[in-house]
Amino acid sequence: MVVDYEVRGHVAVITLNRPEARNAINGEVSAGVEAAVDQLEGDDDVWVGILTGNGPVFSAGADLKAVAGGRVNEIQTARGGFGGLVRRERTKVLIAAVDGPALAGGTELVLACDLVVASTAASFGIPEVKRSLVAGAGGLFRLPRALPPAIAMELAVTGDPISAEIAARFGMINDLVEPGTALEAALALAARITTNAPIAVRISRRVMLAAHSANDDQLWKLSAQALAEVIKTEDFAEGPRAFIEKRPPNWTGR
């Protein structure tokens, strides 16, 4: 299997498992990631996902053999786009756990996630211009959202990478950790998320993502709709009840 899917409690770990090819994205990997996201989204008992890579490289991006052979369509899916992920509509939080270089499409996969945990062994970059390509899987507009515009522009036009330390300094990374511990730290972050009501988390994520493109009037309406939606859930009553009874809440996700 070039993509592994493992459930740990309320968390699903999706692992790119093509280490001999630096986890480069080919058609099989793209289809595998899309299928894994389908599982994540379809399982009501799984509330958070983690995307990571097996081996010393998170992902070197697109399989250039496929690109050079004119098989670009093979490395994307109809719903998810490149890697089965970058254009995929999702409802659940997805954390990137990066313990090595994430370059070109590897960076674009990271940018498609909601949160990033990276070790000091990680690096990020969009070197496509060095091969007369462009970062067409979201890097050219998501990177300026994750980094200061001048830094993002430098990465785009030089093709040079930045270290995890620099990425963390500019706010692209949520948690910077020691090499070999990125997945462990991502699981710890996921555990902090899964202590909360899962529907409220998903609704909050939805409104936060809308802030990139909607105006304040639209966002006020979305916030009001979000509150009205969460009030209708079973978990809405459980939260205050658990507080009054001085116990941890028992979320049902309903």
CA distance 52 to 180: 12
Each residue's pLDDT tens digit, 196-208: 999 999 999 999 9
In the block, tokens 């080919």 appear at: 26
| pTM for the whole structure | 0.95
Enclosing H/E stretch for 55? none
Task: Report yes or no: 193 and 201 within 8 Å, Cβ to Cβ.
Answer: yes
Residue 213 has pLDDT above 80, yes or no: yes
pLDDT of 74: 80
Backbone angles phi, psi at 139, to 5 degrees: -60, -35
Strands across the sheet containing 123-125? 101-103, 123-125, 162-163
pLDDT of 69: 67
**DSSP-derived 3-state class of residue 185:** helix
> What's the pLDDT band for 148 if we cut at 50, 70, 90?
very high
pLDDT of 70: 67
Q: Is 28 an active-site residue?
A: no
* Catalytic residue of the set 74, 128, 178, 238: 128
- pLDDT (mean) for 239-246: 88
Strands across the sheet containing 93-98? 3-8, 11-16, 48-53, 93-98, 115-119, 175-177
Residue (of 70, 98, 101, 82) closest to 34 by Cα position? 82
Cα distances from 251 to residues 10, 66, 93, 199, 224, in angstroms, run 11, 45, 17, 9, 22
CA distance 176 to 78: 34
**In the chain, which residue ranges form alpha helices assigned H by DSSP?**
27-42, 64-68, 105-112, 139-146, 149-158, 164-169, 182-194, 198-210, 216-231, 234-244
CATH no. of 198-244 = 1.10.12
**DSSP-derived 3-state class of residue 45:** coil
> What's the pLDDT band for 64 if we cut at 50, 70, 90?
confident
pLDDT of 231: 94
Residue 68 has pLDDT above 70, yes or no: no
Each residue's pLDDT tens digit, 95-120: 999 999 999 999 999 999 999 999 99
Each residue's pLDDT tens digit, 171-195: 999 999 999 999 999 999 999 999 9
Q: Is 128 an active-site residue?
A: yes
Residue 71 has pLDDT above 80, yes or no: no
Domain boundaries, the chain: 3-194, 198-244
Q: Find out if CATH 3.30.750.200 is the number for domain 3-194.
A: no
CA distance 80 to 120: 29
Q: Which amino acid is at 169?
A: R
**Average pLDDT in the chain:** 95
pLDDT of 176: 98
CA distance 63 to 79: 20
In eight-state DSSP terms, residue 84 is: T
* Catalytic residue of the set 6, 28, 108, 165: 108
